[in-house]
């Protein structure tokens, strides 16, 4: 990046973006790539949402009405995979692309061409994954956790395409993570010292290290599956000296940090928004950084809490129970800090703030059920029931997804140069808030009462709450169409936004005009 001083090097700053499709296909601009990631994730959010609607429609009443059990299993699997790898993760990478350079005063991401590549392989991965729905034998039907041997010996032929798609997604994530790390370490503006970094940048830095640590593990586990299926190995087959339990250890060694990959950047987003609308500095900045780092560390030593019932030894149960409960400590610190930031502030409740407050409350409820699940003896009753479904949807939907929506409303003026309509935004918030709770709160009850997850039909005593849950899901699903409308309406017809539309907001991103020009910070800003 030192070549920018050569005079013969043409001066990008005075070029606009390329015209037409070429702008998007060949883009190396962090803002354009960020936009691509965000739209892609939005599209996947709707695709995964359609699968969820099929699931909730079938579960509206007991009995089999709409789909066959075999197809139902494909829906739960595809819903999970598309939402995790297609909607939530790319959305955060999109936010990182747009905001990290703007927040640290860098002209672009450190590795712009790799940035282009890491995005453009994603649509192929998901096209391939979605195409399995039309293959003989159907799409993957073994759950997003794809436990062997259901996903190996007993899998439909499309499993090979699934494996390849996961490889591509993993490569994309690893490249994205390398880019984030290289950018944050090398491209901070002079004076942007470590403990001045916005928390969003910190949380993403730590997330990127998690990604680099665990995506290869995911690649490893699907490769072992591939070998078992096609090349006669027996990693996961006890008859050949392997073990199905090995699969679960390897998978969750990836899978547990993965859930923090989906929530740490959310912490960063909320840590930007709550101070802005409280007009008060974030309480306990440095403890937030340390808490994030401790959560990341602990996330590597708790994986077997997903496996309390597979028959791990007593000492193992005890260790994983204690380690898991410990995560509640740094997570609690975060929640207390956000609440204390609001305390004695000067609060207003624009849409990003509403989503952030709902995030804190509902994520905390998800955290509570997480603490309950960590208690190993009790987990024998909760495991693989709707209680778990309720738990992880509370941390992922009003958790991760709400934070992404908060971020979208908060930074949309910077991205598009236009303000969204506040009334519509609030309407979207309240519909989503009600929808999410009506969908997922009753699932705690049916789980405790004994309904297993991943079943297409259920005993009659679970009927009422399933119907409530389905109604909530339809409401939540429909309100996202409003979100789409709001975003498009803002871009084409929103009122012009000021450089800094939020009076309490802080950070370098608000020092550039709205919309942020194609090139920003060609000369680094001074940070003091």
Partner 1 sequence: MPSKLLKGGVALFAVLLSAVTQADWTLNMPQGVTDISDQVYSLHMLTFWVCVGIGVVVFGVMFYSIIKHRRSKGAVADNFHESTAVELAWTLIPAAIIVYIGIQAFPVLKNMYDFEDSELTVEIVGYQWKWRYTYLSDDPTQQVSYFSNLATPAEQIRNRTDKGENYLLEVDEPLVLPVGSKVRFVLTAADVIHSWWVPQLGVKKDAIPGIVNESWTIINEPGIYRGQCTELCGKDHGFMPVVVQALPQAEFDEWMAGKKEEAAKLAELTQKDWTYDELMEVGESVYQKNCASCHQANGEGLPPTFPALKDSPIATGDVMAHIDIVVNGSAQNPAMAAFGPQLSEVDLAAVITYERNAWGNDTGDMVTPVDILNYNAGQ
Contact 300, 228 (CB under 8 A): no
Q: Crossing angle, helix 30-58 and helix 463-493, to 10 degrees?
A: 150
Verify whether residue 108 is a known catalytic residue: yes
Verify whether residue 422 is a known catalytic residue: no
Q: Binding residue for partner 1 (CB under 8 A) from 131, 461, 511, 523?
A: 461
Stretch (H or E) spanning 223: helix 199-230
Q: Is 444 in the site for partner 1 (CB under 8 A)?
A: yes
Alpha helices in 69-198 (DSSP H): 69-81, 89-104, 112-120, 122-131, 159-186
Give 66 or 213: the residue with its C-beta nearer to partner 1.
66
Give 166 or 360: the residue with its C-beta nearer to partner 1.
360
- Residues between 145 and 204 with contacts to partner 1, criterion CB under 8 A: 147, 149-150, 153-154, 156
Q: Binding residue for partner 1 (CB under 8 A) from 378, 424, 482, 527?
A: 378
Using the structure block, give the residue that is written with the tokens 């586990």. Answer: 221
Q: Is 321 in the site for partner 1 (CB under 8 A)?
A: yes
Q: Minimum distance from CB of 267 to partner 1 (Å)? A: 16
Q: Binding residue for partner 1 (CB under 8 A) from 21, 195, 460, 492?
A: 460
Query: What SS3 class is residue 495?
Result: strand
Integer angstrom CA distances of residue 504 from 282, 346, 511: 12, 10, 13
Q: Is 475 in the site for partner 1 (CB under 8 A)?
A: no
Both tokens assigned to 324: 């898991």
Q: Is 223 in the site for partner 1 (CB under 8 A)?
A: no
Verify whether residue 306 is a known catalytic residue: yes
Residue among 41, 76, 207, 271 flagged as catalytic: 271
Q: Binding residue for partner 1 (CB under 8 A) from 314, 492, 493, 528?
A: 314
Both tokens assigned to 400: 């991760």
- Residues between 249 and 278 with contacts to partner 1, criterion CB under 8 A: 278
Stretch (H or E) spanning 496: strand 495-496
Q: Is 336 in the site for partner 1 (CB under 8 A)?
A: yes
The window from 95-103, 195-203, 296-304, 371-379 that contacts partner 1 (CB under 8 A) reads 371-379
Q: What does DSSP assign to residue 419?
A: E
Q: Binding residue for partner 1 (CB under 8 A) from 131, 186, 348, 511?
A: 348
Cis geometry, peptide bond prior to residue 149 (ω within 30 degrees of 0): yes
Verify whether residue 158 is a known catalytic residue: no
281 burial (CB, 10 Å; 0-12 / 13-18 / 19+) is exposed
CA 342/CA 336 separation, integer angstroms: 10
Residue among 12, 196, 426, 453 flagged as catalytic: 453
Active-site positions?
79, 108, 144, 172-173, 256, 258, 260, 271, 305-306, 331, 334, 453
């Amino acid at each position: 990046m030192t070549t920018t001083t050569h005079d013969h090097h043409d001066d990008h700053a005075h070029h606009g973006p390329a015209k037409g499709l070429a702008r998007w296909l060949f883009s190396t601009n962090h803002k354009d790539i960020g936009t691509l990631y965000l739209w892609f994730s939005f599209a996947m959010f709707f695709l995964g949402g359609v699968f969820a609607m099929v699931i909730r429609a079938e579960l509206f009443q007991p009995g089999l009405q709409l789909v066959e059990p075999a197809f139902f299993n494909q829906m739960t699997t595809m819903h999970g995979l598309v939402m995790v790898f297609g909607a939530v993760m790319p959305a955060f990478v999109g936010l990182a692309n747009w905001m990290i350079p703007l927040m640290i005063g860098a002209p672009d991401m450190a590795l712009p061409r790799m940035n282009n590549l890491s995005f453009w392989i994603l649509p192929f991965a998901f096209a391939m994954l979605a195409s399995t729905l039309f293959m003989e034998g159907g799409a993957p039907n073994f759950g997003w956790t794809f436990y062997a041997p259901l996903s190996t010996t007993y899998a439909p032929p499309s499993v090979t395409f699934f494996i390849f798609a996961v490889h591509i997604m993993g490569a994309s994530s690893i490249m994205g993570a390398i880019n984030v790390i290289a950018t944050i370490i090398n491209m901070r503006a002079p004076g942007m010292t470590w403990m001045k970094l916005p928390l969003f940048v910190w949380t993403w830095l730590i997330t990127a290290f998690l990604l680099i640590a665990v995506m290869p593990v995911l690649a490893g586990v699907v490769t072992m599956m591939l070998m078992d299926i096609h090349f006669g190995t027996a990693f996961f087959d006890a008859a050949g000296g392997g073990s199905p339990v090995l699969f679960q250890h390897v998978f969750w060694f990836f899978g547990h940090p993965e859930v923090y990959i989906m929530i740490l950047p959310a912490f960063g987003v909320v840590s930007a928004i709550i101070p802005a609308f409280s007009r008060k500095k974030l309480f306990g900045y440095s403890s937030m950084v340390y808490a994030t780092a401790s959560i990341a560390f602990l996330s590597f030593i708790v994986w077997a809490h997903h496996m309390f019932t597979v028959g791990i030894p007593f000492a193992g149960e005890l260790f994983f129970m204690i380690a898991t409960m410990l995560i509640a400590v740094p997570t609690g610190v975060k929640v207390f800090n956000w609440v204390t930031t609001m305390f004695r502030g000067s609060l207003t409740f624009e849409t990003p703030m509403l989503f952030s407050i709902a995030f804190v409350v509902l994520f905390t409820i998800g955290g509570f059920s997480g603490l309950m699940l960590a208690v190993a003896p009790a987990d024998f009753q909760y495991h693989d029931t709707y209680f778990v479904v309720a738990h992880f949807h509370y941390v992922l939907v009003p958790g991760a997804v709400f934070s992404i929506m908060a971020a979208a409303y908060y930074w949309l003026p910077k991205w598009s140069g236009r303000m969204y309509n506040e009334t519509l935004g609030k309407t979207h918030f309240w519909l989503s808030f009600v929808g999410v709770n009506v969908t997922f709160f009753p699932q705690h009850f049916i789980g405790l009462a004994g309904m297993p997850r991943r079943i297409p039909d259920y005993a009659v005593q679970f009927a009422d709450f399933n119907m409530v849950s389905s109604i909530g899901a339809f409401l939540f699903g429909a309100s996202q169409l409003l979100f789409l409308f709001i975003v498009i309406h803002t871009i084409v017809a929103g009122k012009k936004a000021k450089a800094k539309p939020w009076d309490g907001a802080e950070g370098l991103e608000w020092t550039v005009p709205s919309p942020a020009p194609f090139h920003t910070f060609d000369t680094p800003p001074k940070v003091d």
